[in-house]
């Protein structure tokens, strides 16, 4: 298994493998054809409450990771679905945030790579 992360707005590449969107909301201004998403797992994304609280504020990053881990642990179904999806080969987790270091795909990549 090779697990990568990439901004959904970046151009799709042949070596992306299966492209999985891990955002709760569809990316603004992006057509489904251009995004080339193979699977949209919005239920693995942070809850609306957590997403709004975090608001991509790097000062809240450590607490966001902790709260997000707790959400994933409490509701393991979507994470199990993601684990099954990545078992077969190269997977790219897609996210819409502008911040490449502080987003849910980074947390998921770290969690699934352990």
pTM: 0.93
* pLDDT(95) > 90: yes
What is residue 106's three-state secondary structure? helix
Q: Spell out the domain ranges in the chain.
A: 2-113
Angle between helices 61-74 and 104-113 (to 10 degrees): 60
Q: pLDDT tens digit string along 46-89?
A: 999 999 999 999 999 999 999 999 999 998 788 888 888 888 88
What is residue 96's three-state secondary structure? coil
């Amino acid at each position: 298994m090779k697990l990568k992360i990439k901004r959904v707005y970046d151009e799709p590449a042949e070596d992306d493998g299966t492209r999985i969107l891990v955002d709760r909301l569809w990316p603004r201004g992006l057509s489904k054809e251009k995004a080339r998403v193979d699977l949209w797992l919005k239920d693995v994304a942070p809850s609306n409450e957590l997403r709004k609280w975090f608001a991509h504020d790097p000062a809240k990053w450590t607490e966001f990771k902790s709260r997000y881990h707790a959400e994933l642990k409490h509701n393991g179904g979507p994470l199990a679905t993601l684990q099954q999806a990545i078992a077969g080969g190269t997977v790219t987790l897609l996210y819409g945030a502008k911040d490449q270091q502080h987003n849910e795909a980074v947390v998921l990549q770290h969690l699934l790579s352990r």
